[in-house]
Amino acid sequence: MILNKVLVANRGAVAARVLRALNEMSIPSVAVYSEADAGAPYLAYASESYYIGASPAKESYLNQDRILKVLQESNADAIHPGYGFLSENFGFASGVVALDKVFIGPSPKWIEAMGHKTKARELARQYGLPVGQGSEVLPPDQAKVAAAARKIGYPVLVKPAAGGGGIGMLPAYDEAQLFEAVERARSMAERGFSNPDVYLEKLLEYPRHIEIQILGDQYGSVRHLYERDCSIQRRHQKVIEEAGAPGINREVIDSVTDNVTRVMSEMQYDNIGTVEMLMGEDKSFAFLEMNTRLQVEHGVTEEVTGVDLVQSQILLAAGARLDVVLPKDISIEGHAIQARVYAEDPKRFFPSPGKLTIFRPPTSKNIRVETGYAQGRDVTPFYDPMIAKVIAYENTREQAILSLKEALKEFEIEGVKNNIPALLQALDSSEFKCGKIHTNSLSEIMAKNNN
């Protein structure tokens, strides 16, 4: 199948990234924008653009009816959903397919299967992936909730079954905390995901967050493109990611990637996806969840493998075979690290909306910047406050750390607060430099430096 025109149903850095890929492939493109994003710099990359509503996401980027109407009005034959917003929405993907259009992602059935965390955990278990201790969706009965927590053993983590992005993930160290956390998580899940279902996982205090990038085609072939380490997080949200994972024996990680590839092949998964795992202090791996979309951190994998994941995703959705899309042999060459730059307070991590009176990204050698902003643009309170991704690629991890630090120091931002001081603290820490990191490392590093 030849795609004649693709609608990009997103905004910001990912819209810019997908539009760039479409231009490189000589595929005409359609951008959409809200009131807040009128005049955004990446709109100039599109062949045409459509206004889709007011600034709040529910009135624009989450407005399925409006986006599907633009899909028809523009005569586009495919939609790329980017990440966030509707990228993992089963109803939206099904709506695209029902219009006889191409959804650039996996089949809707995979979005549905992996979108509900407890169902995804059970599916992973059935296919032989190791899965950590956890519960089913919690019932209203407090006695049954308490029994589920006792069976797992404290501490536990309450998590929305249909959520993501760290929203509604709350720890509980005893029964009193448990009931409060469950009620709060249910409320947050209902507001954030229109689904109040929550469940429990065993809370690992110092895990590594390791994820496996895969690509599949519509003919049963699946390959992995190695791993990423996403352990540097704040409030369960990734802020620094790298490829490959430091300090893990290559044989160990190869065993994990091979097992994930086997499972996804048996399932016949059919486009881009990321299997997220937690590595415990005992070096064991357990399935966490699967994201059925392009990841924010995809760029570090592109840098070390030389594979353009966005173009690959588009070709696979159009029916190309994996052995045509990917080279026969893919290996990790060098090291790449990404830092997410947010418009937020660098200590408390609260969003800092405002006008970017100065916005000058770094231009250093071996530095890649992905952004949807330009000087003079407003960072609004309506969307995620990430304003740029800065990626350093070098021959060694040590060189990549140094290059990324220099690039962040070169990045000039005024008009809003930003998290670059926190990123530099992490990159400068002995823990990060030696690769002894875990999902609580950033909070520990900042507590040590800010006392």
**Cβ-defined contacts of 86-95 (< 8 Å, 24+):** 86/9, 86/61, 86/62, 87/10, 87/293, 87/294, 88/114, 88/115, 88/164, 88/291, 88/292, 88/293, 89/64, 90/115, 91/64, 92/64, 92/67, 92/68, 95/64, 95/68
User: Are 41 and 372 a contacting pair, CB within 8 Å?
Assistant: yes
Quick one: CA torsion of 321, 325, 329, 335, rounded to 10 degrees? Answer: -140
Give the residue from 37, 77, 29, 43 showing the smallest Cα distance to 57. 37
Contact call for residues 382 and 61 (beta carbons, < 8 A)? no
**Which are the catalytic amino acids?**
293
Q: What is the 8-class DSSP label of residue 244? A: S
- Which amino acid belongs to residue 53? G
Rounded to 10 degrees, the C-alpha dihedral 254/255/261/263 comes to: -170
User: Where does residue 218 rank: exposed (0-12), middle (13-18), buried (19+ CB within 10 A)?
Assistant: middle
The rounded distance, in Å, linking the Cα atoms of 134 and 121 is 9
Going by the DSSP 8-state scheme, the letter that residue 372 receives in this structure is: S
Beta-strand (E) ranges in 333-431?
Answer: 335-342, 354-355, 358-360, 367-370, 378-379, 386-394, 412-414
